Structure 1
Amino acid sequence: MRAYACMTGTLRGRLVNRLARSGDAPICGLFYHRVADTTPNDWTIGVEAFRRQIDWLAERFDVVSLAEAHRRLIQQDSKRPAVVITFDDGYADNCAHAVPMLIDRGLPFTYFVTTENIRNQSPFPHDKAAGAPLKPNTLTELRTMADQGVEIGAHTLTHPNLGECPPRQIREEIVGSIDQVRQWIGRDVRSFAFPYGFPINMTPLGMQIAREAGIRTICSAYGAYNIPSSTREYEGALHFRRMHADPEWSRFINWMTFDPRKLHAPEPINDTIWLGGEKPYQRLHEAVGAGS
């Protein structure tokens, strides 16, 4: 991985500089689940590894909120590479280290929660299946975060694969979670993240329901960069791509320094809705071909 990053470093730098000059610098969306040193699993990163990542990001990127990323994308006003930090599900362990670290550093982030697990204080289904019933956040923790300026977003009621759900359940899961978060924190809810977040888990109906419920930023989780010239609002909302914050340092650095392979990430089946028919990353492919 290090050798590959070194071999492509010059290309990456030229490409980012070219895009930044026209307000088209990439905006990376990162998603975490749980930050802790206990019960390691594929969706947990250690405390020191997390600290190292966010300090590295703060030195090299504009760390911005989802709302600011939305503005930069729509106004094509991205003069410097930026990153958005998000969390999915809502693990209590995050309040021990990750949340205080980010707040102490003044770094914005969005916290997406699966509401029924929090309401019932029941473990998430994927943790039950793995034999590790980890504790979800409490309502008090969510309200405290919201009062500290953290954006709380919706992540469905029960964390189903919405790509396999009937229309009625899709609506209940999306609208129900948005309404529940809004009621809990006493604030508007403008962001939604699809559970699992791969193209197969996302549907045009789900996108439509989220928009109609007042969501402005709809997040996926299958990788790739957000480029202003390839981003379009549709009825006031946009699709924001995120990638996993890999706990392995060399892979993390590789993804965050604009790996050209991420230009070819799979597209959700509904991308023609969001891009107005334009080929995704068309400007990027042109920039790569043009050189510096």
Structure 2
Amino acid sequence: MSLKSGVKSAIAVAWDAGSRLSRPAPKLTILYYHAVPAAQAAAFDTQMAYLKRTANIVAPDHTGPLAIDRPNVAVTFDDAFRSVRENALPALARHGVPATIYVPTGNLGRQPGWRMETSGDRDEVVMTAEEIAALPSDLIAIGSHTVSHPHLTKLSDEEVGEQFGASRAALEGLLGRTIDTLAFPYGDHDARVVELARQAGYRFVYTVAPQAIAAGDTATSRGRTGADPGDAPGLFALKTRGAFDWMPMASSLKRRLRPRS
């Protein structure tokens, strides 16, 4: 573990301890994964078994009541990699854990055409249209991850609208059902991008910044906590309890204190 990761984990432990003492209102924590390599399938299965034992598992767009006696957790996957179908789906089915997969429609059946977010993803392949259509709809929900996985804040309004509209139309045509949630590639967004997503018909959009989501919260944008099958058990448990919710506040404070050039 790097020094930076160690510091983050130490803060998370302290945050978690403080939360247990103060007993705050229940919250929803949304986890997001990318790939699940075959070598980590057993570790992922262990994580899902842990969630089934300890958490109230809901969908990432859940707006109803939340459990007060256990963590409330949703599971999501970005990029629709084939390894998720091959190595994660069996564990999700075995433990009855629903999940949402966000699909980049311009790369179906091909290796990613974008800059990888983690080094382990470079050999992955996106599922084909047929593979996505065959996913069990009672367990797996589908959302958009745009067409080509761009940095959305670098695009014009027209280009962003095309990414949102074309990906949604492709998925609705493939699946025959409404697609109205979207995960931002790289988590890249601003107020303009969120508003364009809302105008394009998306009820919820998802970032990559941890967030404690309160019961009944209907804000369009929702944060998520990054998870990995290789996370140590203690670290994964902290993530499910929302122990990294302090990170956006720390980032905001860091930006305020950064000397202006």
Fold conserved (TM > 0.5)?
yes
Q: Which residue of 2 aligns with 1:50?
A: 44
Q: 2:177 aligns with which of 182, 187, 192?
A: 187
Q: Residues of 2 paired with 1:244 and 1:32: CA distance?
A: 6
Q: Give the TM-score taking structure 2 as reference length.
A: 0.81
User: Residues 156 and 195 of structure 1 are in contact (CA less than 8 Å); yes or no, is this contact kept in structure 2?
Assistant: yes
Q: Which residue of 1 aligns with 2:259?
A: none
1:79 aligns with 2:67: yes
Measured after TM superposition, the shift of residue 116 of structure 1 is 0.4
Q: Which residue of 2 aligns with 1:29?
A: 30
Q: Which residue of 2 aligns with 1:14?
A: 21
Q: 1:5 to 1:212 in 2, by over 3 A?
A: closer
Measured after TM superposition, the shift of residue 97 of structure 1 is 1.8
**Tell me, what secondary structure is at the counterpart of 1:94?**
helix
Q: Which residue of 2 aligns with 1:254?
A: 238
Q: 2:110 aligns with which of 121, 126, 130?
A: 121
Measured after TM superposition, the shift of residue 18 of structure 1 is 3.8
Number of equivalences: 240
Q: Residues of 2 paired with 1:217 and 1:267: CA distance?
A: 25
> 1:255 is matched by which residue type in structure 2?
K
Q: Give the TM-score taking structure 1 as reference length.
A: 0.73
User: Residues 63 and 82 of structure 1 are in contact (CA less than 8 Å); yes or no, is this contact kept in structure 2?
Assistant: yes
Measured after TM superposition, the shift of residue 93 of structure 1 is 1.4
Q: Residues of 2 paired with 1:151 and 1:127: CA distance?
A: 24
Measured after TM superposition, the shift of residue 9 of structure 1 is 5.3
Q: 1:138 to 1:79 in 2, by over 3 A?
A: same
Q: After superposition, give the CA deviation of every residue in 1:122-149 in whole Å (9 maximum; x if it has no partner).
A: 4342259969342210111111115444
Q: 1:232 to 1:126 in 2, by over 3 A?
A: same
Measured after TM superposition, the shift of residue 5 of structure 1 is 6.4
Quote the RMSD (CA, aligned, Å).
2.8
Measured after TM superposition, the shift of residue 182 of structure 1 is 0.7
Q: 1:6 to 1:206 in 2, by over 3 A?
A: closer
Q: Residues of 2 paired with 1:128 and 1:57: CA distance?
A: 25
Q: 1:218 to 1:127 in 2, by over 3 A?
A: closer
Q: 1:60 to 1:111 in 2, by over 3 A?
A: same
Measured after TM superposition, the shift of residue 239 of structure 1 is 1.4
Q: 1:33 to 1:100 in 2, by over 3 A?
A: same
> 2:215 is matched by which residue type in structure 1?
P
Q: 1:262 to 1:117 in 2, by over 3 A?
A: same
Measured after TM superposition, the shift of residue 34 of structure 1 is 0.7
**Tell me, what secondary structure is at the counterpart of 1:95?**
helix
1:263 aligns with 2:246: yes
**Tell me, what secondary structure is at the counterpart of 1:97?**
helix
Q: After superposition, give the CA deviation of every residue in 1:38-62 in whole Å (9 maximum; x if it has no partner).
A: 6xxxxxxx21221121111111111
**Tell me, what secondary structure is at the counterpart of 1:168?**
helix
Q: Which residue of 1 aligns with 2:206?
A: 219
Measured after TM superposition, the shift of residue 12 of structure 1 is 2.3
1:209 aligns with 2:196: yes
Q: Which residue of 2 aligns with 1:98?
A: 88
Measured after TM superposition, the shift of residue 152 of structure 1 is 0.6
Instruction: Write the mapping of 1:138-217 to structure 2, written as runs, cut at 5 A.
Output: 138-145=128-135, 147-197=137-187, 201-217=188-204
Unaligned runs of 5+ in 1: 20-24, 39-45, 270-292
> 1:251 is matched by which residue type in structure 2?
L
**Identity across the alignment (%):** 22
**Tell me, what secondary structure is at the counterpart of 1:57?**
helix
Q: After superposition, give the CA deviation of every residue in 1:67-102 in whole Å (9 maximum; x if it has no partner).
A: 3x2x22xxxx22333101000011111111201211
Measured after TM superposition, the shift of residue 268 of structure 1 is 10
Measured after TM superposition, the shift of residue 3 of structure 1 is 6.9
**Tell me, what secondary structure is at the counterpart of 1:35?**
coil
> 1:156 is matched by which residue type in structure 2?
T
Measured after TM superposition, the shift of residue 227 of structure 1 is 2.4
